Amino acid sequence: MNRSYPYIIGRFLVLVAVQVLLIDHINLGGYINPSLYVLFILLLPFQTPGWLLLTSSFLLGFSIDIFSNSMGIHSAASVFLAFMRPWVIKGVGAPAEYEGDLNPGIHDMGTKWFIIYSTLLVLVHQLVIGMLETFRLSEIGMILFRLILSSLVTVLLIVLVEYLFMNKRK
């Protein structure tokens, strides 16, 4: 068994717990709904097989859906984020050859790369959530407003968590 699996499983459990026990209960005016749990998908190693990436993303979103009564919205958004992840990694300019334990985090890839990478994927995730929650294009202005606010707060939380814990992971 790979030595990093317990850390990845622990990260999954901690992020789900923080999301459902803390973040989901903070009222930020109804317009801001941070999704810190997506950090799990963002930090999966580059060499994670596609089937495992999609399956673990579904399980992550499904876990959030169970605790937040959101009927599959987070599952769909998480799977779509995982589906888009390889293209975003290529578009942002990941290393041509993934070396050993190289992960898409600030420690391995640098702050600028990580912020661009996480911002693009968080925007995709929040757009899917906004469209599925509202389910009508007549409210596109409100969807975009919530998308921008929620994405901004989510990326700020993700970068903060990355800086707080990046030295402790290695």
Q: Which of 146, 120, 121 is nearest to 132 (CA)?
A: 146
Give the residue extent of every domain in the chain: 5-169
Burial class (CB in 10 A: 0-12, 13-18, 19+), 79: buried
CATH class belonging to 5-169: mainly alpha
pLDDT 10s digit of each residue in the chain, 170 long?
455 778 889 999 999 999 999 998 887 777 888 999 999 999 998 888 999 999 999 999 999 999 998 889 999 999 999 999 999 998 988 665 555 567 888 888 889 999 999 999 999 999 999 989 887 778 888 889 999 999 999 999 999 999 998 755 54
Q: Which of 134, 118, 154 is nearest to 23 (CA)?
A: 154
